[in-house]
Structure 1
Amino acid sequence: MMPEPTMTQLTLGAPEPAPVRHTTSLLDVRRIYAEPAAAASERGRQVLSRWPDAEVVEVASHWQIPELHGDEANVARWVRIKTEALVLGVKKSLTARPNGRSSDFIAPSTANGCAMACAYCYVPRRKGYSNPITVFTNIEQICGYLTRHVGRQGLKAEPSQTDPHAWVYDIGESSDCSLDATVSDNVRDLVDTFRALPTAKASFATKYVNRDLLGWEPQGRTRIRFSLMPEDVSRVVDIRTSKVSERIAAIDDFVAAGYEVHVNLSPVIVKDAWLDEWRTLLRQLADGTSAASQAQLAAEVIFLTHNDRLHEVNLGWHPKAEELLWRPDLQQPKRSESGGLNVRYRTGEKGRYVAQLLELIEQETPWLRVRYAF
């Protein structure tokens, strides 16, 4: 039996050709932290070949990289880490968790973290601080698991708000799949897998327009949820994302390419004149989409939940965002299961905010079905 290649051999040996895909200014990878098994895999070699000049650092676990996770000194390097670092790991626990809101199930992650830097994102709370993209390289196992899990569900007996007929699997809970697709073929493999599963759909939310996905022929088995909020607010809190106007402009093209397209109206941030700003956004959505797109659009409405630990982190790199996100005059605290302190709009007041936005949606975009709002 041939011995496993060493990390040095993997770095210096002839890499596999990288597939041609969309390039992004969000990534200028200088260092790749890799579990040995991940680096040695076919998908790992594909990612390494994308950045042949990057330094490769062997790590025992993608969860335990002190240079990236849990070091408060990293706050000042928040965006730089997201730009220059990448992690390769193996997803060890394969489970599809029941959901019921965005999807019926949360699929096992094929990536974790993001090169974008939305100030309200909950993902950094899990690993701590910058949390750049981690690519899980055992994609064949993940796709095989999902195929078997879908098969065990059988036909969907009753319609639900997630979908009237198909079991919906969120494939992007901890990352942005549109951006992940610029790093590896994991997302394309998932879209290909669900194309062949007539009783299920993949689903993911995105703030990044990647037009490479238009050539993938999903045949209605993948739902993309473009996240939208008023443009002026987005400029402050949606850091390094595609412009909201660009996301709206992409909807018709993705519908024509065979995707089911929904919108996430989230997070809804309450501030002065917030309803006027949402009215403007809804009119932009109406003016920027065709009748065919509007006929199949649906929305999720999610009001902001923030966290005291993320608040402290943001104060170290982007305090302007906290002027919108951290509003003790409007919010109430609730202790989370992990021991942190979450804040959300006060009970009673939040119900009023939700009702006001739903009324506005009915006035401006009566064709836009709201799947759920909270």
Structure 2
Amino acid sequence: MRAASGAGPAGARRVGGDRHTGPVREQRLVDVTRIYVEPAAAELPRGRQVLERWPDATRVEVDSHWNIPELHGDETNVARWVRIKREALVLGVKKSLAARPNGRSADFIAPSTANGCAMACAYCYVPRRKGYSNPITVFANIEQITGYLSRHVARQGVKAEPNQCDPHAWVYDIGENSDCSVDAEISDNVDDLIALFRALPTAKASFATKNVNRRLLELDPAGRTRVRFSLMPEEVAKVLDVRTSPVAERLAALDDFVAAGYEVHVNLSPVVVTDGWLPQWARLLDSLGEATNEATKRQLAAEVIFLTHNGRLHEVNLGWHPKAEELLWQPALQERKRSEGGAVNVRYRSGEKGRYVRQLLDLIAERAPYLDVRYAF
């Protein structure tokens, strides 16, 4: 189609049960040498499991997982952004349990069983909230969290009307502030959540991931967990998706996860407007079709999310990954928007963004007509 072969917009830049008894599989992501521990978390079974996995790690007692000056809010940490993610781990207790209504990707956002991530995607919103590198925090009170979720699901009853989240089940996002595929390499929290939703006929779990963790194929989700693999053109991912599984590896995993009993969707996000962005997406959509069999295509759906960036994160990124900001920070294409929390965000200008969305949706219809777009913004 014409839009797919044209040049990019003016101002865009070109892109250049304890199952965890052995060693951590994702050595490239985590090599824990220091664990910050809330005393109450260390007393719980899940907390002891995590501590026993790294017996030689230095333990630092902290009053709160939210208030660790060495990790959060210290601007000098920007030079150690990735090192902190690899070497530090926080063990805490989730004190406030609530399932917040969502209505877009999921019906509800479940209470977190982890916060932070070992990966370092340059556009990630989580550092904006907690501060700087934000390594993984594991919440040890998993029994409280799963008990709360069971009761919350029971109160909803049967879903009376279909919506964009799911036609039949109440969907709970279990990974809003972390990547569950990586979390599953740290503790059994994700295993417990998948087992919980397997037994809940009116609800299903959902999480997005940029990491291929094939141990999840062993967990028998019975169709009650939706995995949303995030995809973007490889040219962009090489710059922005730091420490993640390559896009080709994510594509190669889709059929296997469907065969293992997961519902598999894709997140086409974030969509970054650059010179040649539509041809890049055309190639990715062609690769998606080539990587998936008919069984996968029949159940595949997509969420399409264009980039929203943040002024403070822009400044932080300049300290550790300025090349990413050549793609993310494009004043000629973007406008300021203040978030509900008061932060200054930037997004593509409203009139132009609508055009970009239509162009990408037209491209999806042409190159991947089997792909049901649940929403796009």
TM-score range, shorter chain: over 0.9
SS at match of 1:348: helix
* Pairing 1:64-75 to 2, within 5 Å after superposition: 64-75=67-78
**Are positions 1:241 and 2:241 aligned together?**
no
- Aligned partner of 1:164 in structure 2 is 167
Q: Deviations over 1:40-81 (max 9, x none)?
A: 110001001111100000000000000000000000000000
Task: Describe the superposition over 1:223-244 as per-residue Cα deviations: whole angstroms up to 9, x where unpaired.
Answer: 0000000001000000000000
For the 8 Å contact 1:17–1:49, the answer to whether it is kept is no
| Residue of structure 2 equivalent to 1:285 | 288
Aligned to 2:334: 331
Q: Provide the residue aligned with 1:351 in structure 2.
A: 354
**How do 1:99-118 residues align onto structure 2 when only pairs under 5 Å count?**
99-118=102-121
Q: Distance in 1 between matches of 2:245 and 2:42?
A: 30
- Cα offset for 1:339? 2.5
Task: Note the residue ranges of structure 1 that are not aligned, 5 or more in a row.
Answer: 1-15
Amino acid at match of 1:186: N
Are 1:19 and 2:21 an aligned pair?
A: yes
Q: How far off is 1:335 after superposition?
A: 1.5
Amino acid of the structure 1 residue aligned with 2:25:
T
User: Aligned partner of 1:182: which letter?
Assistant: E
CA contact (8 A) 1:21 1:212 kept: no
Shift of 1:292: 0.4
Once the two structures are TM-superposed, the CA of residue 338 in structure 1 deviates from its matched residue by 2.6
* Superposition map of 1:72-221 within 5 A: 72-221=75-224
Over 3 Å counting, the alpha-carbon distance change for 1:275 and 1:239 in structure 2 is same
Matched, 1:38 2:41: yes
Q: Which aligned pairs between 1:291-370 and structure 2 lie closer than 5 A?
A: 291-370=294-373
- The runs of 4+ residues in structure 1 deviating greater than 4 Å are none
How far did 1:337 drift? 2.6
For residues 311-364 of structure 1, the C-alpha deviation after alignment (integer angstroms, 9 at most, x for no partner) is 000000000000000000000001223322100000110000000000000000
Does the 8 Å CA contact 2:50/2:187 hold for their aligned counterparts? yes
Matching residue's letter, 1:321: A
SS at match of 2:350: coil
TM-score (structure 1 length as normaliser):
0.95
Classify 1:235/1:17 alpha carbon distance in 2 versus 1 (closer, same or farther; 3 Å). Answer: closer
Alpha carbons 2:20, 2:188 under 8 Å: kept? no
State the TM-score, normalized to the length of structure 2.
Answer: 0.94
The one-letter amino acid paired with 1:293 is T
Matched-pair contact (CA < 8 Å) for 2:19–2:188: no
Q: Is the 8 A contact 1:208 1:242 kept in 2?
A: yes
Q: Is residue 285–residue 368 contact of structure 2 (8 Å, CA) maintained in 1? A: yes
User: Among 224, 228, 247, which residue is 2:231 paired with?
Assistant: 228
Q: How many Å separate the matches in 2 of 1:101 and 1:117?
A: 25
Question: Percentage identity across aligned positions?
Answer: 75
**1: distance between equivalents of 2:103 and 2:131?**
27
Contact 1:21/1:182 (<8 A) preserved: no
Aligned to 1:268: 271
CA distance in 1, matches of 2:86, 2:264: 29
Taking the aligned partners of 1:28 and 1:252, their CA distance within structure 2 comes to 30
CA contact (8 A) 2:274 2:327 kept: yes
Which structure is richer in relative contact order (CA contacts within 8 A, separation 6 or more)?
A: 2
RMSD over aligned Cα atoms: 1.0
Report SS of the residue matched to 1:306: strand
The structure-2 alpha-carbon separation of the partners of 1:21 and 1:194, relative to structure 1 and needing over 3 Å to count, comes to farther
1: CA distance, partners of 2:224 / 2:139:
23
